[in-house]
Amino acid sequence: QTGQAIQALPTVRNDEVGQLIHGFNYLLDTLAQREAALQQSEATTRQTLAQSQALAHKLERYQLAMDKHVLITISEVNGRITHANPRFCEVSGYTLAELLQNDFRLLNSGFHPKSFFAALYENVMVGKTWQGEVCNRTKNGQLFWLAMTVVPFLDEDGQPVEFISMNTDITE
């Protein structure tokens, strides 16, 4: 009947029929083991999915909190901006689309000498975090100051592949 487990057959003969029954019982046992392993795997997958969803929700909450205060950008090694959070866009006056088409020279206020940015770049290119204060210029020409931390993300060879910049607006 459908939906009912197939029972192992008793082996009562030592001839070919007995060997077939033994083979049939072996297949049933193997099938039962694989079914149990599949059920365990499914349970583990459900648990992992639930944990991943909970972590994703937690990260969304953390990001929401960060976006209320911290100005965040992510850039490639060449300085091209690949992400800016809404708070960065708000303070800089640029839209995300405008920022994504450019590098950080767009924001250069002219306040710092080239050697300042060369030292920053040299530091992060060897995998070190850089911290300092930077004066930038908004889209409408106003100066704004940031307390900045730049963290390099490294590949498996220890080479930077992108940078995340976390900033606090310290303009007075």
In Å, what is the CA distance from 61 to each residue of 8, 9, 58, 66, 81?
54, 58, 5, 9, 24
CB 111, CB 143: distance < 8 Å: yes
Mean pLDDT, rounded, for 97-102: 94
**Is the C-alpha dihedral spanning 144, 82, 152, 122 positive or negative?**
negative
Q: What is the pLDDT of residues 4-17, one digit of tens each?
A: 677 777 777 788 88
Q: How many CB atoms lie within 10 A of CB 75?
A: 19
Percent of the chain with pLDDT over 70: 97
Q: How many CB atoms lie within 10 A of CB 94?
A: 21
4 SS3 class? coil
Whether pTM exceeds 0.85 = no
Q: What is the pLDDT of residues 127-156, one digit of tens each?
A: 999 999 999 999 999 999 999 999 999 999
